[in-house]
Structures are given as C-alpha cells and as structure tokens.
C-alpha cells in the first residue's frame, strides 16, 4: 500500500497538456509527465514546504526545491532531498505494489481525457487509484465539477477514522493526498 506517500501531504500526477483536452503521449519524453510531491519538513528548526518533481516518462533528473526562504538553502535542500527520496523508495520498494500502481496509472493515462467522458469512467479511475493507497473505505463526499455540460473534475473524499484523504481527477491532472483538516471540520466549513 502506498499510503506513506500521502500521509500529511499530497502527490500530483501532472502532464501540462492535460488541461487542453489533447491526448497525452505517454511514450514521448517531450510530454514531461511527472509526479509532484509537496510536503512540510522541519529544517533548521523551521517548518518549510518542500516540493519534489519526479519524471516518469523521461530520463530528466529529479528536482527538489524549497518553497520560501531558508538560511543555508543548499544544506536544507540536500537534507530534504535525502528524506523525501528515502520515503519514496520505502513506499515503492515492493515490486508487486509498485508495478500494480504503475500499470493502473498507465491505463488511466493512456487516454486521460476519456476518463472524464462519463461519471462511471471517472469513478472507475478514482477507485483504481484509491485501492493502491488503501482508500477503498467510506466515501465521505463526492464533488462533481462541470463546464459547458461536460464533466471536468471528480473530487472524492474518503474517511478513515479521524482522517480524510482525497483523490481529484480533473482536466489538470490527478491529485491524491491527505486533507489536513479532520473530516468533521471539512463538513462544518462548507455549511
């Protein structure tokens, strides 16, 4: 299970052409399909937001950046890179888990706009992704977004004990993460 990748954070599978409605060519390195991961780390006694970009269809290098100002940025970046890479390696170390996730991700990405052609297809894609993160439990909420009578996004919020997790499948990509607010707080803020 890949829940460690999203605990108190989020990941996003991104290809910058997705929002245009064009098909994304997975096999073309010029498409720059990548996983963005954002997390907060304690560096030099301060909480800083760290972003890592992991290319998944090219041999581009992994990029790690600190969002905001940190004294001795090179040391902070090196420490953050090491921590995040170790976390990702641990989560993806099981070959069967990794291959199953990548295979489902490939199926979803092959014709990404087609996943939003119907609610049934969108839900199927969300459920396939959710299973890899152990999010097949109680669905707290499903939010549908439309534009010009077309489905543009499905946001599914999952409840697990006191935590909530979400998967967003939309024109801009796929985002999977843990909501920083408890489930009941989400509900009360929307009222």
Q: For the chain, which residues make up each domain, given as ranges? A: 3-190
Residue 45, classified by CB atoms within 10 Å of its CB into exposed (0-12), middle (13-18) or buried (19+), is exposed
User: In the predicted model, is pLDDT for residue 80 greater than 90?
Assistant: no
Higher pLDDT, 73 or 164: 164
Phi, psi of 29 (to 5 degrees): -65, -20
Q: With bands split at pLDDT 50, 70 and 90, how would you rate the model's confidence at 83?
A: confident
- Entry pTM: 0.76
User: In the predicted model, is pLDDT for residue 184 greater than 60?
Assistant: no
pLDDT of residue 26: 55
- 120 Cβ contact list (under 8 Å, min separation 6): none
List, for residues 97-106, the tens digit of each pLDDT value: 888 888 888 7
Q: With bands split at pLDDT 50, 70 and 90, how would you rate the model's confidence at 157?
A: very high
- Average pLDDT of the chain, as a whole number: 77
Mean pLDDT of 51-56: 77
Q: With bands split at pLDDT 50, 70 and 90, how would you rate the model's confidence at 125?
A: very high
Strand ranges in the chain using DSSP code E only, listed in sequence order = 10-14, 34-43, 46-55, 63-67, 138-147, 150-160, 163-170, 173-179
Mean pLDDT of 134-161: 87
């Amino acid at each position: 299970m890949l829940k460690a990748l999203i605990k108190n954070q989020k990941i996003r599978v991104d290809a910058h052409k997705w929002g245009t409605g064009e098909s994304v060519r997975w096999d073309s390195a010029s498409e720059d399909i990548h996983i963005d991961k954002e997390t907060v780390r304690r560096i030099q006694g301060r909480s800083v937001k760290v972003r890592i970009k992991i290319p998944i269809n090219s041999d581009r290098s992994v990029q790690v950046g600190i969002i905001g100002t940190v004294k001795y940025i090179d040391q902070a970046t090196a420490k953050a890179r090491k921590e995040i890479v170790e976390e990702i390696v641990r989560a993806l170390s099981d070959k069967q888990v990794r291959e199953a996730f990548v295979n489902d991700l490939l199926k979803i990405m092959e014709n990404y706009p087609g996943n939003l052609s119907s609610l049934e297809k969108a839900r199927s894609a969300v459920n396939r992704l959710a299973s890899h993160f152990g999010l097949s439990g109680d669905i707290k909420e499903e939010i549908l977004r439309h534009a010009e009578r077309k489905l543009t996004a499905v946001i599914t919020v999952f409840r697990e004990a006191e935590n909530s997790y979400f998967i967003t499948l939309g024109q801009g990509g796929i985002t999977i993460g843990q909501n920083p607010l408890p489930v009941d707080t989400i509900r009360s803020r929307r009222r």
